[in-house]
């Protein structure tokens, strides 16, 4: 009986979260003027209820409700990388999840906004037309494309208005992920040039701390490229860290804390954490 009640409770919880997500998505569409995709609706039962009626509140009539006309395929976490072809409506919803929801709906994600420079560097531009890039912007989920070559910008485009251009403008703040990978790779390159690390194919086999983990004897190259073979543990973007990592701040914790937790749980992606501590 307890198991059945648990399943029912979990089902209600997940369905409630799903509803909250889609309603916040619909509100975002409406607030940004995409009325061709969404409309504000009034619940039928609310039409006959006065604000003083208790049923007005129990039926949530004081809230705004919206309905979109999109055909969305919902996934657990991000869209799988293989064997799927999401339609445009699904991609619009995923764009909302990626760029808007974390910071506007339930701001639980730490964010670091980079302010523009007061004395910015001006890049030289010599824009050309690239038919291949134009086609990708018109057919795929690509939001924008910037190409810098030979000291100048040659391609600078965003998705056309009938794709994602209606949702992004030149002044929009796009969420950047995995910036730490770029920084870590940059530092790793300097460490190799200075002789602290032999080369990108050096193996992590002289560090007792990571013995008995899947990262032992791995090539630095594979860690930098997030190809350490731990995909089955971290396939979902909604993967939750083990409870014994709650409250740990990587800026002031020794890597031993992470390694000990990993040896117990076997599910924490330490690719960049390990590289970070290797270089410090």
CB atoms within 10 A of CB 41: 12
My answer on whether 257 and 232 are in the same domain is yes
Average the pLDDT over 248-275 and give the result.
Answer: 53
33-37, 169-173, 266-270 — which one is most confidently predicted on average?
33-37
Residue 33 in any domain: the answer is yes
Q: How far is CA 266 from CA 189, 234, 237, in A?
A: 29, 11, 17
Residue 159 in any domain: the answer is yes
State residue 255's pLDDT score. Answer: 65
Residue 244 has pLDDT above 50, yes or no: no
Residue 112 in any domain: the answer is no
Residue 243 has pLDDT above 60, yes or no: no
Cα(23)–Cα(13) distance, integer angstroms:
15
Residue 276 has pLDDT above 80, yes or no: no
Residue in 261, 268, 165 with CA at minimum distance from that of residue 157: 165
Residue 109 in any domain: the answer is no
SS3 214: coil
Phi, psi of 140 (to 5 degrees): -115, -175
Residue 172 in any domain: the answer is no
Phi, psi of 137 (to 5 degrees): -65, -30
Average the pLDDT over 36-53 and give the result.
Answer: 88
Residue 1 has pLDDT above 60, yes or no: no
My answer on whether 196 and 233 are in the same domain is yes
Split into its structural domains, the chain has a count of 3
My answer on whether 98 and 13 are in the same domain is yes
My answer on whether 52 and 137 are in the same domain is no
The whole-model pTM stands at 0.63
Residue 156 in any domain: the answer is yes
My answer on whether 71 and 136 are in the same domain is no
Question: Percentage of the chain surpassing pLDDT 70?
Answer: 71
Residue 170 in any domain: the answer is no
My answer on whether 194 and 153 are in the same domain is no
For 213, residues 6+ apart whose C-beta sits below 8 A from its C-beta are 259, 262, 263, 270
The tokens for 146 are 């910037």
Question: Percentage of the chain surpassing pLDDT 90?
Answer: 32
My answer on whether 10 and 93 are in the same domain is yes
Mind listing the pLDDT tens digit for each residue in 141-167? 999 999 999 999 999 999 999 999 999
Average the pLDDT over 177-198 and give the result.
Answer: 86
State residue 260's pLDDT score. Answer: 62
By residue range, what is the domain housing residue 20? 2-104
Residue 113 in any domain: the answer is no
CB atoms within 10 A of CB 25: 23
> How many CA atoms lie within 13 Å of 52's alpha carbon, on the beta-carbon side?
0
Cα(113)–Cα(173) distance, integer angstroms:
9
More confident: 265 or 147:
147
Average the pLDDT over 53-77 and give the result.
Answer: 87
């Amino acid at each position: 009986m307890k198991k059945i009640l648990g399943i029912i409770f979990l089902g209600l919880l997940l369905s409630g979260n799903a509803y909250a997500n889609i309603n916040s998505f619909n509100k975002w569409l409406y607030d940004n003027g995409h009325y061709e995709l969404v409309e504000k609706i009034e619940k039928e039962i609310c039409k006959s209820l006065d604000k003083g009626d208790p049923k007005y509140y129990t039926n949530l009539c004081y809230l705004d409700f919206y309905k979109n006309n999109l055909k969305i395929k919902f996934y657990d976490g991000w869209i799988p990388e293989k064997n799927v072809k999401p339609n445009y409506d699904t991609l619009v919803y995923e764009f909302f999840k990626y760029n808007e929801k974390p910071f506007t709906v339930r701001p639980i994600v730490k964010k670091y906004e980079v302010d523009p420079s007061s004395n910015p560097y001006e890049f030289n531009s010599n824009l050309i037309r690239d038919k291949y890039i134009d086609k990708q912007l018109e057919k795929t989920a690509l939001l924008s494309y910037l190409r810098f070559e030979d000291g100048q910008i040659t391609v600078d485009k965003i998705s056309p208005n009938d794709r994602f251009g209606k949702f992004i403008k030149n002044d929009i703040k796009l969420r950047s992920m995995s910036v730490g990978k770029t920084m870590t790779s940059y530092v790793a390159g300097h460490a190799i040039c200075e002789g602290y690390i032999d080369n990108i194919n050096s193996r992590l086999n002289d560090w007792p701390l990571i013995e008995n983990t899947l990262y032992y004897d791995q090539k630095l190259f594979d860690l930098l490229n997030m190809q350490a073979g731990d995909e089955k543990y971290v396939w979902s973007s909604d993967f939750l860290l083990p409870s014994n990592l709650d409250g740990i701040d990587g800026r002031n914790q020794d890597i031993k804390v992470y390694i000990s937790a990993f040896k117990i749980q076997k599910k924490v992606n330490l690719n960049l954490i390990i590289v970070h501590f290797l270089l410090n």
